[in-house]
Structure 1
Amino acid sequence: MRHTLPLTPQFYVTAPQPCPYLEGRMERKLFTALQGDNAAQLNDSLSAQGFRRSQNVLYRPSCTDCAACLSARIDISAFKPSKSQKRTMRRNRDLLRRATSPWATEDQYDLFRRYLDSRHAEGGMADMDVFEFAAMIEETPIRSRVIEYIEPDTRDLVGVCLTDVLADGVSMVYSFYSPDHPQAGLGNHIILDHIEIARAAGLPYVYLGYWVPGSQKMGYKAKFSGLEVYIGGAWQKLADPLSFEPDNHPLSTDPIAEQVANIALPDMARKNL
């Protein structure tokens, strides 16, 4: 029997599980497969609507009684580094940047394990083995790169970011870095360097993933000027992060059928309808 891919994306919902960001909350995701000849167009379109990529899946939070998770991106034209961010750039100015194809290495996995053990030992990725790590890096149907940061004297790998190249920006899918130099601000440096990467490529945005007001894990994203968040079907400038409260109202999330109906599919997908 010959099987063919569906002509249009099919959307599904995950089972509820404990939220990793807000205590006492349950998390649920709306997701679809990223596959076929139109994968790049679908990724571009849905990324602009608050979705994120994980391997061959695009997902967006769709919790039943909470809408706190907000997709975030930096508008490069509105970004101005703070004094602290300028110091971070100076501290790390000698780091070497190397862009490679999405291929996992032992050095990357060793750094990944040290990063998790130091910062996220209780997180959902804590038990990820080398094969799952390789899948995270290598299973991509779109244009992706691994950006590595190398200490020039020792040639040690100190930072890595799996990065997707979108039509309107770069998306930082997942980054990790050495826990041995906490004063270096390597995590912030990787974001600042991606702003430079996008600017040099003539791309207007750096997609950061989700910002969650009230979550200490996500607080660092609000420190970047030019930040926009996706709310109510549109991108809005984040003026004052401290004035934002997590949206935990039980009616804050539309029913799944309405959410799917309001997703704008790329033209290539619509031609197949």
Structure 2
Amino acid sequence: MSSNAPHQPVRDLRFFLTVPHACSYLEGREATTLFLDPQESHSEGVYDALALLGFRRSGRHLYRPHCEGCSACLSVRIPVADFAPSRSQRRVRRRNADLRWQVRPALYDPEHYALYDRYIRTRHADGDMYPPSHEQYRTFLTLDEPYARLMEFRLGHQLLGVTAFDRLDHGLSAIYTFFDPDPTWNRRSLGTFAVLSLVAYAQHLGLPHLYLGYWIRECRKMAYKEAYQPLEVLDGRHWRRLLTAG
């Protein structure tokens, strides 16, 4: 079990709630989201403190689910020092040993957007992010802040994937990954490799955690997060280790 107190009190910050809307993950459910007031400063320590309380970033917004009568969304993170890759994850590492990755500021890049556009149109044409647009991409994944980063993966000069993440005082926070949807690359499992690369990068930086966002037991789209062990879940204000993947 681990328990982390936020770096500073957050009780004086202003928040607001969205109106109920259709849940993106559980059919037939309504969702409500708690946002940090955009007028509040994202000063040093605020983001770190809110992340420990289960908040995520999307563009310039810090948020977390706040649904009446439902607590299905669980914040999860990997304690990277104890991470034990499975046999299949070790195979993914070997298959991608020829890729090189580079960390860059989270600024707009036409090459990145072209890959994002193909990814959304091929893999998520039935999702909330379809159809993609330059404005949507900029709002979601670009941010000129020192903590916002992009990790790109290349085979030679060819861009195969990009992962957006934030560097916090107590870990990295994975935001979104997109990659080349051509079936040629399926065997590489680029989504898995992106998570493994963030684990390795957190270890390299000496940071204790990789935050994976929200996990819902009943949602098949989120089942992949159970494959990263050990996994910790936010239970109220305390992070507790899941004893089994289930």
Residues 1:113 and 2:136 are matched in the alignment: no
Say whether the 8 Å CA contact 1:40–1:142 is kept in structure 2: no
Once the 2 structures are TM-superposed, how far is the Cα of residue 72 of structure 1 from its aligned partner? 0.9
The equivalent of 2:164 in structure 1 is 162
Q: Given the superposition, is the C-alpha separation of residues 55 and 39 from structure 1 closer, same or farther in structure 2, using an over 3 Å criterion?
A: farther
Once the 2 structures are TM-superposed, how far is the Cα of residue 140 of structure 1 from its aligned partner? 4.8
**Alignment partners' CA distance in 1, 2:175 and 2:47:** 12
The equivalent of 2:58 in structure 1 is 54
Paired residue type of 1:86: R
Which of 212, 220, 224 aligns to 1:220? It is: 224
Say whether the 8 Å CA contact 1:77–1:226 is kept in structure 2: no
Cα deviation code 1:152-206 (max 9, x no counterpart): 2xx2111101111000111111111112222211000000010110000000000
SS in 2 for 1:124: coil
**Alignment partners' CA distance in 2, 1:93 and 1:102:** 25
**Alignment partners' CA distance in 1, 2:139 and 2:120:** 17
Which of the pair has more CA radius of gyration?
1
Q: Given the superposition, is the C-alpha separation of residues 102 and 125 from structure 1 closer, same or farther in structure 2, using an over 3 Å criterion?
A: same
The equivalent of 1:190 in structure 2 is 194
**Alignment partners' CA distance in 2, 1:40 and 1:201:** 19
Once the 2 structures are TM-superposed, how far is the Cα of residue 98 of structure 1 from its aligned partner? 1.3
Say whether the 8 Å CA contact 1:161–1:176 is kept in structure 2: yes
Once the 2 structures are TM-superposed, how far is the Cα of residue 8 of structure 1 from its aligned partner? 4.1
**Alignment partners' CA distance in 2, 1:80 and 1:190:** 16
Paired residue type of 1:132: Q
Residues 1:171 and 2:147 are matched in the alignment: no
**Alignment partners' CA distance in 2, 1:31 and 1:172:** 19
Moved over 3 A (4+): 33-38
For residues 124-273 of structure 1, the aligned pairs below 5 Å read 124-152=128-156, 155-180=157-182, 181-242=185-246
Structure 2: segments with no counterpart, 5+ residues: 1-10
Cα deviation code 1:7-66 (max 9, x no counterpart): 942111111111111111111111103666653311000001100011221101011121
Q: Given the superposition, is the C-alpha separation of residues 177 and 35 from structure 1 closer, same or farther in structure 2, using an over 3 Å criterion?
A: farther
**Alignment partners' CA distance in 1, 2:164 and 2:148:** 7
**Alignment partners' CA distance in 2, 1:33 and 1:96:** 39
Once the 2 structures are TM-superposed, how far is the Cα of residue 67 of structure 1 from its aligned partner? 0.6
The equivalent of 2:98 in structure 1 is 94
SS in 1 for 2:44: helix
Say whether the 8 Å CA contact 2:152–2:159 is kept in structure 1: yes
TM-score (norm: length of structure 1): 0.81
Say whether the 8 Å CA contact 2:120–2:132 is kept in structure 1: no
Structure 1: segments with no counterpart, 5+ residues: 1-6, 243-273
The equivalent of 1:74 in structure 2 is 78
Aligned residues: 234
Cα deviation code 1:76-131 (max 9, x no counterpart): 12211000000000001111101111111111111112211222212111133112
Identical amino acids, percent of aligned pairs: 37
**Alignment partners' CA distance in 2, 1:124 and 1:24:** 16
Q: Given the superposition, is the C-alpha separation of residues 103 and 38 from structure 1 closer, same or farther in structure 2, using an over 3 Å criterion?
A: closer
Q: Given the superposition, is the C-alpha separation of residues 87 and 35 from structure 1 closer, same or farther in structure 2, using an over 3 Å criterion?
A: farther
The equivalent of 1:41 in structure 2 is 45
TM-score (norm: length of structure 2): 0.90
Say whether the 8 Å CA contact 2:105–2:144 is kept in structure 1: no
Say whether the 8 Å CA contact 1:68–1:213 is kept in structure 2: yes
Say whether the 8 Å CA contact 2:79–2:230 is kept in structure 1: yes
Q: Given the superposition, is the C-alpha separation of residues 240 and 138 from structure 1 closer, same or farther in structure 2, using an over 3 Å criterion?
A: same
Say whether the 8 Å CA contact 1:34–1:141 is kept in structure 2: no
Cα deviation code 1:210-251 (max 9, x no counterpart): 111111110000100121111222111122233xxxxxxxxx
Task: Give the alignment's Cα RMSD to 1 decimal.
Answer: 1.7
Say whether the 8 Å CA contact 2:14–2:37 is kept in structure 1: yes
